[in-house]
Structure 1
């Protein structure tokens, strides 16, 4: 039979050990605005986060219409991530409707942004993730925000961030290797809308598109005619459509120019789990392979 003195000693020892161990944090409820960002948050957060993406697979973050379920997820979140730079024009309305009291973390803070002229205005291109160099900035911001919400697991977030940053460096090297072998005057393709600016800036690829940075914008007949003439002059041979928006206009332009289909690209949304781009890493490699193969064919 255990004596009272021995039982007291065991209890005190257990209490002392518990006091010296780091607190075990609960899994963070995290919301990300769209699938690409959600995947990167998962890579950094690991087992310590449960991530919900507001925009689902193959969804368009420009034209997204939030649902009551989105509002509930947002209200219950410990941390909310957006890419920022005008991508999520619907987020402020959703925050007001949901009653969420926090402030979203802008993952793109610190990215060297690209601006362009559209409809007589200077606007910022929000599609920063199409360069893994920019996604490294995302990773640093995500790790910092998760550590602030869950200090007990800060070391795990830091280790995950370092490991994923190494993967992003490998993606960057992969793309450079693919495009360095292609003559510069053949690095031109036609896409649905202007979402590959950062990709083009990194790898010397020119992307022509009938629609500007947002799929909500519309191209005039004069703008389409001008683009068709440019494609003919520059001898652009291949067009791609995108998984998250309507391909009819780009097909119309391609038909008028004789450009051949190169397939589907994943630009601002991942595929579902059964598709070729269920993670950011797979999405980027898939896009590089598709674009480079089309360029090699046209060369």
Structure 2
């Protein structure tokens, strides 16, 4: 059923009115995040005091997301929006312009970004900063401060939850460091479709190669990009290559076939899965990616 603009407008008014009634009744404030990974982090800090919802759904490609009228309606009922920044959400500025006065917090504030080194994005910050658990601790601290400001009465809850979650992140970081250290010296090159692993490879001593730097436009890689990666895989005798869950794998399948490597599987970066999938949380995403890399490149769990 197709809704007319008038019906969408009326639906928006009803949703906003409902939110106002809920606030008057003392219900939880709603916090929106731009994608599922931020939502999971925020839920760990919020506990039961806030309602945290991701604008984009599990499995969505977030760089060029096309927001909908219902996204705007839902956002107008929110008390706060959490975004990544560093140029990740290309749609977010337009979204907030249309939205009006809902405060937002950028969770990469305080993080020193890694610069992209190739193509049209050369010199710009790599936005995938959460792929470093050390950076994730800064995300959590920014979330904690934002929630304390939003709901001062929940300060003790937010502080305790942030500490407990940060301890879990540190534990995963230590485990990944130990596991990825088992990769052979000559098999420590991570080859992916998108250059989304710069922070992970930096933290754990791997080299990085990719078809394109950022998923600004969905594609399979240009012939030049594909040939360049094939040449690297052949020259360095890299045994396996990978691609991300939110983009088609055909380009990297071609690299594997022509370079004599294996396709090592799918890595998760920009989005979690639903509760039934392999990476329903951020911490499980990190561990699943490490397990896939270890299996493909010959390390030990």
TM-score higher than 0.5: yes
1:293 deviates by 1.8
Off by >4 Å, runs of 4+ in structure 1: none
Question: Is the CA contact 1:136–1:168 (under 8 Å) kept in the aligned structure 2?
Answer: yes
Q: Is the 8 A contact 2:218 2:247 kept in 1?
A: no
Q: Give runs of aligned pairs for residues 123-142 of structure 1, distance below 5 A.
A: 123-142=124-143
Change beyond 3 A, Cα 1:184–1:28: farther
The residue that corresponds to 1:258 in the other structure is 260
Q: Residue 196 of structure 1 aligns with which residue? A: 197
How many residues get paired? Answer: 274
Where 1:134 maps in the other structure, the secondary structure is helix
Q: Is the 8 A contact 1:271 1:278 kept in 2?
A: yes
CA offset digits 1:228-255 (Å, max 9, x no partner): 1111101111122221112111112111
Structure 2 length-normalised TM:
0.87
| Alignment gaps of 5+ in structure 1 | 1-23
Name the structure 1 match of 2:244. Answer: 242
Tell me which residue corresponds to 1:150.
151
Question: Whole-Å Cα distance in 2 between the matches of residues 241 and 225 of structure 1?
Answer: 16
The answer to whether structure 1 residue 105 and structure 2 residue 99 are counterparts is no
Measured on the aligned residues, the alpha-carbon RMSD in Å equals 1.8
How far off its partner does 1:25 sit? 6.8
Cα distance change of structure 1 residues 94 and 200 upon mapping to structure 2, 3 Å threshold: same
In the other structure, the counterpart of 1:36 is: 37
1:163 maps to which residue?
Answer: 164
Q: If you compute each CA radius of gyration, which structure gives the higher value, 1 or 2?
A: 1
Aligned to 1:57: 58
Deviation at 1:115?
A: 0.5
CA contact (8 A) 2:184 2:299 kept: no
Provide the C-alpha distance between the structure 2 equivalents of 1:34 and 1:129, rounded to a whole number of angstroms.
12
**SS of 1:191 mapped into structure 2:** strand
SS at match of 1:246: coil
CA distance in 2, matches of 1:118, 1:25: 51
Counterpart contact for 1:184–1:204, Cα < 8 Å: no
In structure 2, runs of 5+ residues without a counterpart are 1-24
Rounded to whole Å, the distance in 1 between the matches of 2:26 and 2:118 is 47
User: Tell me, what secondary structure is at the counterpart of 1:117?
Assistant: coil
Task: Determine helix, strand or coil for the equivalent of 1:122.
Answer: coil
**What does residue range 202-281 of structure 1 map to in structure 2 within 5 Å?**
202-216=203-217, 219-281=221-283
- Partner of 1:55, secondary structure, is coil
Deviation at 1:103, TM superposition (A): 3.2
The residue that corresponds to 2:20 in the other structure is none
The 2-side partners of 1:253 and 1:296 are apart by: 19
Match of 1:122 in 2: 123
Deviation at 1:96, TM superposition (A): 2.0
Question: TM-score with structure 1 length normalisation?
Answer: 0.87
